[in-house]
């Protein structure tokens, strides 16, 4: 299924303008991080398509929701994200995979040599959104999990839980059937 083609993204409902924006940087990032064989491409695209609302959102919509309030309330989630008190919205999810928390933003800033003050904006560019998603995927062992057909394991690595598992699975099935 690699490289990803327009027909793959169109089949899962990505709008034409978004396809033309993301197709080239997406394939470049997938190649850079070895998301090119077996089930890896279908699982990767299904996950980022869900996380980004079919490539519509490269910044998390902010309510704040009760979950988002936990990003900076001083509790376990805000501590695990490395968020300073009151900065949950600043370090909300960015990019196609929704890089969340100061710690994860810092990792991406260091990986791609982008100043931390500029990382949120870079993650919202097509290159940044795609490369950071592929980097996060590879750094969290998702290539290996995909090789084992562990879709639930991949989802947990991306989301921290099983939020949206039904949609993620449906997207994966559509993409897998297009091989």
14-21 own/partner pairs: CB under 8 Å, 24+ apart: 14/49, 14/54, 14/55, 15/54, 15/55, 15/56, 18/54, 18/55, 18/56, 19/55, 21/55, 21/126
Model confidence pLDDT, tens digit, residues 92-119: 999 999 999 999 999 999 999 999 999 9
Residue 11 CB burial class (10 angstroms; 0-12, 13-18, ≥19) = middle
What average pLDDT does the segment 165-178 reach?
Answer: 97
CB 45 within 8 A of CB 18: no
CA angle 21, 106, 19 (to 5 degrees): 10
Model confidence pLDDT, tens digit, residues 58-88: 999 999 999 999 999 889 999 999 999 899 9
CB 101 within 8 A of CB 82: yes
Task: Kindly report the pTM of this predicted structure.
Answer: 0.96
CA 108/CA 110 separation, integer angstroms: 5
Residues of the chain with pLDDT > 70, as a percent, come to 100
CA 105/CA 85 separation, integer angstroms: 16
Domain boundaries, the chain: 6-57+130-177
pLDDT for 179: 73
Model confidence pLDDT, tens digit, residues 15-40: 999 999 999 999 999 999 999 999 99
pLDDT for 1: 84
Q: What is the mean pLDDT of the chain?
A: 97
Structure-derived torsion over alpha carbons of residues 54, 55, 59, 62, reported in degrees to the nearest 10: -20
pLDDT for 124: 98
pLDDT for 32: 98
């Amino acid at each position: 299924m690699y490289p990803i083609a327009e027909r793959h993204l169109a089949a899962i409902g990505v709008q034409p303008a978004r396809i033309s924006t993301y197709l080239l940087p997406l394939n470049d990032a997938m190649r850079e991080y070895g998301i090119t064989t077996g089930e890896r491409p279908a699982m990767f695209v299904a996950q980022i398509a869900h996380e980004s609302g079919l490539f519509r959102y490269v910044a998390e919509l902010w309510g704040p929701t009760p979950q988002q309030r936990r990003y900076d309330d001083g509790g376990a989630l805000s501590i695990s994200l490395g968020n300073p008190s009151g900065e949950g919205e600043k370090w909300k999810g960015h990019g196609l995979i929704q890089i969340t928390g100061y710690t994860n933003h810092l990792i991406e800033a260091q990986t791609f040599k982008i100043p931390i003050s500029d990382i949120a904006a870079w993650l919202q560019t097509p290159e940044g959104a795609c490369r950071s998603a592929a980097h996060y995927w590879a750094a969290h062992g998702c290539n290996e999990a995909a090789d084992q057909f562990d879709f639930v394991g991949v989802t947990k690595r991306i989301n921290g839980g099983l939020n949206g598992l039904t949609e993620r699975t449906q997207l994966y099935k559509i993409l897998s059937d297009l091989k």
